Amino acid sequence: MKNVLKTLVVGLLTIQILTLPVMTSVTQAQVFDAPSAGTPGFTSPAFPAAPLTTPPTGTVFPTYGAVQPGSYFTDDMGNILMYVNVWGQVGVPGQHVIREGSDIATVLSIVGGPTVDANLKKIRVNRFMPDENGANSYTVDLRKYQREGDRSEFVDLKPNDTIIVPEDKGLDIRTVATVVGLVATIVTLVTVSTD
């Protein structure tokens, strides 16, 4: 009898869970595919001066079981949000919630900026799903943005994109100074030994 009741209770709970809305919050958060300027009723969200670093209270966190990966979602204030992943030479790597329309500079600011070892010339943006033109990955050179504020290298970010900030493997000042010091020492030793 206990097993029958247990099975009945589990079955009823399963039915209740399956009949609940996929996502609920105080204001019924929405999950939808990428909006575009041509979508009726869509207006670009206004961005406050400070970027969103943590989701506001009431934000519904989609899970892969409830929300299609690569989707946008909204918080209880109607802001359009998405997840992006940031790897490599940044202050706080990991998965972050950002507003739709945020650019690479905003995301790098949210994660604490690039480290001193970051290679700003070869930042990669890997798509979760290929673009309309079939592209899966982009290389972005942020040095021009750093020097002149030129955003022409930026690519639009989409949900679940991964931004990879690699380490600069080039010669740094310490390596150059060490090599110059070794060369000077060898030249001095050769000169002294020939005299």
30 Cβ contact list (under 8 Å, min separation 6): 73, 74
Angle at 137 between CA 136 and CA 143, to 5 degrees: 160
In one letter, which amino acid is 63? T
What's the pLDDT at 183?
79
Non-local CB neighbours of 158 within 8 Å, separated by 6+ positions: 34, 70, 82, 127, 128, 129
- Residue of 95, 21, 78 whose CA lies nearest to 44: 78
| Helix (H/G/I), strand (E/B), else coil: 1 | coil
* Tens-place pLDDT, residues 71-81: 889 888 899 99
Q: Higher pLDDT residue, 5 or 27? A: 5
Residue 65 has pLDDT above 60, yes or no: no
Q: Given this model, what pLDDT does residue 113 score? A: 94
Average pLDDT over residues 164-181: 77
User: 110-113 — which CB contacts under 8 Å span 24+ positions?
Assistant: 110/51, 110/52, 110/53, 111/86
Region 167-179: mean pLDDT is: 73
The CATH number given to 2-194 is 3.10.560.10
pLDDT at 151: 92
pTM over 0.85: no
Give ∠ CA 154-158-164 in degrees, rounded to 5.
Answer: 60
CA 167 to chain centre: 17
- Give 158 or 12, the one with higher predicted confidence: 158
Closest CA relative to residue 158, chosen from 122, 129, 193, 123: 129
Sign of CA dihedral 30, 33, 38, 44: positive
Say how far apart CA 39 and CA 188 lie, in whole Å: 73
Condensed to tens digits (0 to 9), the pLDDT of residues 92-117 reads 999 999 999 999 999 999 999 999 99
What is the Cα–Cα distance from 5 to 11, expressed in whole angstroms? Answer: 10
What tokens appear for 152 in the block?
Answer: 């022409």
- Residue 180 CB: number of other CB atoms within 10 A? 10
Angle at 124 between CA 120 and CA 125, to 5 degrees: 130
Q: Supply the mean pLDDT for the chain.
A: 73
**Between 32 and 182, residue with greater pLDDT:** 182
